[in-house]
C-alpha cells in the first residue's frame, strides 16, 4: 500500500516544538508552518530539477502542496530560488532537517534514478545541516524504504 506524502514526510513533524517554524496547529499542514512548507517545496523542486523534473517528481510535489494546504503553486516554484543556508535557518531542529533530507532523497528517487548529481546536491544540503556521513547514509537507507509512487 502506498504511503501518502503526509504520512511519509510530514507526520513525524506533527510533534509540537517550542521553536519558530514548527508551531502551526493547522491539521492540513501536518503541523508545519507556511514558512517551513515553502522551504520544503522550493528545496524539493530545486533538488528534483538537478537532473530534470520527471512527471512522477512533479506529481509528488503537487501532491505535497495540496496535502499541506499551501497557497504555493507548482508552477510558481520554477521562478523560485533555494538556498541550503536559508533552509538551515528555517528548519531549526535536527528532527525537521532529517525529515526534509529523507523526503528529498525519496522524491529524487521517485523517477527510478538517483543520479550522482542528485546525491551530491542532497549531500550539500546535509552538509549545511551539519549532518555526519553516517547520518546521511542512514537517511538514504530510510528514504529507500518509502513508497512514494502515485496510486
Residues 66-109 have pLDDT tens digits of 999 999 999 999 999 999 999 999 999 999 999 999 999 988 88
Among 53, 97, 54, CA closest to 78: 53
Q: What is the pTM of this model?
A: 0.79
Q: Which of 24-33, 102-111, 112-121 is predicted least confidently? A: 24-33
Is the pLDDT assigned to residue 9 strictly greater than 50? no
Mean pLDDT over 117-127 rounds to 94
The predicted structure's pLDDT at residue 142: 87
Can you name the CATH fold of 5-11+21-144?
Answer: TerB-like (1.10.3680)
Q: What are phi and psi of 28, to 5 degrees?
A: -70, -25
Amino acid at each position: 500500500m502506498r504511503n501518502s506524502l503526509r504520512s511519509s514526510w510530514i507526520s513525524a513533524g506533527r510533534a509540537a516544538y517550542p521553536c519558530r517554524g514548527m508551531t502551526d496547529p493547522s491539521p492540513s499542514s501536518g503541523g508545519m508552518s507556511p514558512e517551513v512548507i515553502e522551504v520544503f517545496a522550493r528545496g524539493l523542486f530545486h533538488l528534483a530539477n538537478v537532473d530534470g523534473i520527471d512527471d512522477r517528481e512533479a506529481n509528488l510535489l503537487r501532491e505535497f502542496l495540496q496535502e499541506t494546504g499551501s497557497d504555493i503553486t507548482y508552477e510558481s516554484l520554477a521562478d523560485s530560488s533555494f538556498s541550503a543556508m536559508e533552509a538551515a535557518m528555517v528548519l531549526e531542529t535536527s528532527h525537521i532537517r532529517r525529515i526534509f533530507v529523507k523526503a528529498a532523497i525519496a522524491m529524487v528517487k521517485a523517477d527510478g534514478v538517483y543520479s550522482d548529481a542528485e546525491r551530491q546536491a542532497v549531500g550539500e544540503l546535509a552538509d549545511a545541516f551539519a549532518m555526519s556521513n553516517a547520518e546521511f547514509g542512514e537517511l538514504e537507507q530510510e528514504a529507500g524504504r518509502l513508497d512514494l509512487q502515485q496510486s
